[in-house]
Amino acid sequence: MKKQYSLLVLFFSVLLFAGCEKDFEEINKNPNGFTTASDGSLFNTVIASLKSGWNEQLYVNNSVLYKETQQASLSQVRWVNYTIGTEEVWRDYYTTLPNLRELERRWAGLDTTSHEVQNMMAMEKIVLAVKTFKVTELFGDIPFTTAGYGYIDPARLRPTFDSQEFIYKQLLEELEWAADHIDPAATTAEPYLTFKNFDNLFFGDLVKWRKFANSLRLRYAMRMVNKEPVLAGNIIRDIIVNFKPTFGVNDFGQLNDDPYTQSALLFPYQLGYRNESKGWSFNQSKDLRLGSTIWHLLSLNDSTDGSGIFDPRAYYFFDTNNDNKWVAYSNNPASGTQPDGGIPYEYQRDVVYSLKGATCLYSPVNYHLVRDMDYVPEVLMTGAEVLFLRAEAYMRGIGVGKDVGQAGTEFLSGLQFSLRFWETIMTNSKLPLGATFASNVSVPTNINFITVQNSLNYFSASEQQQLDQIYAQCWLDLFLQPQQAFSLARRTYRTPREGAALSVYRFPIPPTEVSYNNANWLSTFGSPAGDQLTVKVWWMD
């Protein structure tokens, strides 16, 4: 570490950013100068941080969550060091949180009755909620209320933990304020006029920001419905009955299935980077395959020629094996089942798409989803998820009167949105050398919404079976969001599954935080036994 006095002062002022003592000088570099950076550049840094990290994708998503959710099958476990991924998630949050705290400090010096200022405040609150919900969903209780202030208050260098219940309720209140105070007409005056130029998520479109806020309210109200049924029901009622703007529906609650205007998506080409991390994570883990659980939601039988496939998402999410056959790897493999091989995620496929390696015996994840560095987005939320949540609300009578017929309408709308969304994303997908999805994969034209609807037989099922189908289709649509699928599985215990029940409920607090902030960690979890993979988070039954 450099020993100049001025840098020592800076060093101690930003310790809290990471919440640990490891590599602070490298971690806390800020080329924008932080406190001298503009409001917009601080906000832009936070938007950029919404994308998943390299180690997060490899060690959390690919090595743990796809297997636990059974969205895919892991033929062998090469990586067991999930803490490498959780350390990255933790560090990302606590190095970004001071940017949001600094923006909040600056808002206090502005005219907070101004609609332009309220728009900026609302956008900041929404992004804070997105990032904080992500971390508390993975870990449970986390430092929040006193976190992120170390750059102005050394007494907060070791922040106390807040309960997940408290965090949930506070963030939901903040999201309601944000949704209610966004004024789409107030866009042409400063300071918002300049600020919006740094918005690389919705590019200053306040209608989309308001939809995002209400959509998030719906997601997280439903998440806690089993623990706070009255509060959750009131939020869900407010959104559905009062026609609050959300993704996926128009002003009258009817389907609006435009994938781009009705979703929160981070496209690498719009953020000015190439998403090399996803291809790297699959290339390193190597062993994710089409699992038998998801296969049975996409095909009527196990015919390897694909003749049983009724859902085009089979082609969007997976490839055939080296012999051009559809073969699923069991999510509940018998003892002694051999792991798969081959090179389905090696970059040679940029040139020769069919090159998967002679020992690739099972169907891998679609190479376009893995390797497209520009046009496959980081998915934050889609209208399909909103519609499936609405279907659940009507089916269970949460916040609205139970209406099985309306639940069916919402379910079909969610299904239609999902199919259109994934068709649009994959149609626009390109490999680094320019090959399009259509040039590499032929999706039969006779497989569409009708074949999916007919094969599901939703309306001939019992109410419980219909509810299970709502969960299953939401789970399926979350294919690029394994952390959201993990939460759905933990909340409902009814997502598609073969073999043993879900056994991982959260991730332990990362070791560096335990070491650095030990007293607050112990006061929260009581002992190391209270901070284990099998300890349920607050909103779980």
Please say if the pLDDT value at position 19 is more than 50: no
Helix (H) or strand (E) holding 121: helix 115-139
Query: What pLDDT was estimated at residue 250?
Result: 95
pLDDT in tens, 332-347: 999 889 999 999 999 9
DSSP at 366? P
Q: Residue 339: inside a domain, yes or no?
A: yes
Same domain, 262 and 273: no
Same domain, 102 and 162: yes
Same domain, 466 and 421: yes
Question: In the chain, how many domains are there?
Answer: 3
Please say if the pLDDT value at position 1 is more than 90: no
d(C-alpha 279, C-alpha 301), whole Å: 30
**Contact present, 386 and 248 (Cβ < 8 Å):** yes
Residue position matching structure tokens 């705290």: 101
Same domain, 290 and 323: yes
Same domain, 282 and 359: yes
Q: Residue 71: inside a domain, yes or no?
A: no
Same domain, 50 and 198: yes
What range defines the domain where residue 250 resides? 243-267+382-495
171 closest CA partner among 229, 231, 115, 119:
231
Query: What pLDDT was estimated at residue 67?
Result: 95
Q: Residue 171: inside a domain, yes or no?
A: yes
CATH of the domain at 257: 1.20.120
Write out the DSSP string of 182-249: --TT--SSTTHHHHGGG-TTTTT-HHHHHHHHHHHHHHHHHHTTTT-HHHHHHHHHHHHHTT---TTB
Chosen domain end from 347, 376, 405:
376
Same domain, 41 and 174: yes
Which phi and psi angles does 324 have, rounded to 5°?
60, 35
Same domain, 4 and 138: yes
Query: What pLDDT was estimated at residue 63?
Result: 94
Which is more confident, 93 or 32? 93
Same domain, 390 and 326: no
Chosen domain end from 349, 376, 403:
376
Q: Which of 7-21, 184-198, 481-495 has the highest mean pLDDT?
A: 481-495
453 closest CA partner among 312, 317, 353:
312
pLDDT in tens, 246-275: 999 999 999 999 999 999 999 999 999 999
Same domain, 154 and 29: yes
d(C-alpha 134, C-alpha 118), whole Å: 24
> Given pLDDT bands bounded at 50, 70 and 90, which one contains residue 76?
confident
d(C-alpha 186, C-alpha 123), whole Å: 13
Q: Residue 456: inside a domain, yes or no?
A: yes
**Contact present, 506 and 138 (Cβ < 8 Å):** yes
Q: Residue 214: inside a domain, yes or no?
A: no
Q: Residue 20: inside a domain, yes or no?
A: yes
Query: What pLDDT was estimated at residue 336?
Result: 87
pLDDT in tens, 125-162: 999 999 999 999 999 999 999 999 999 988 889 999 99
Helix (H) or strand (E) holding 394: helix 383-396
Work out the burial of residue 43: count CB atoms within 10 Å of its CB; fewer than 13 is exposed, 13-18 middle, 19 or more buried. Answer: buried
For residue 156, give both structure tokens.
Answer: 């907060």
**Contact present, 282 and 318 (Cβ < 8 Å):** no
In 359-434, DSSP assigns E strands to: 378-382
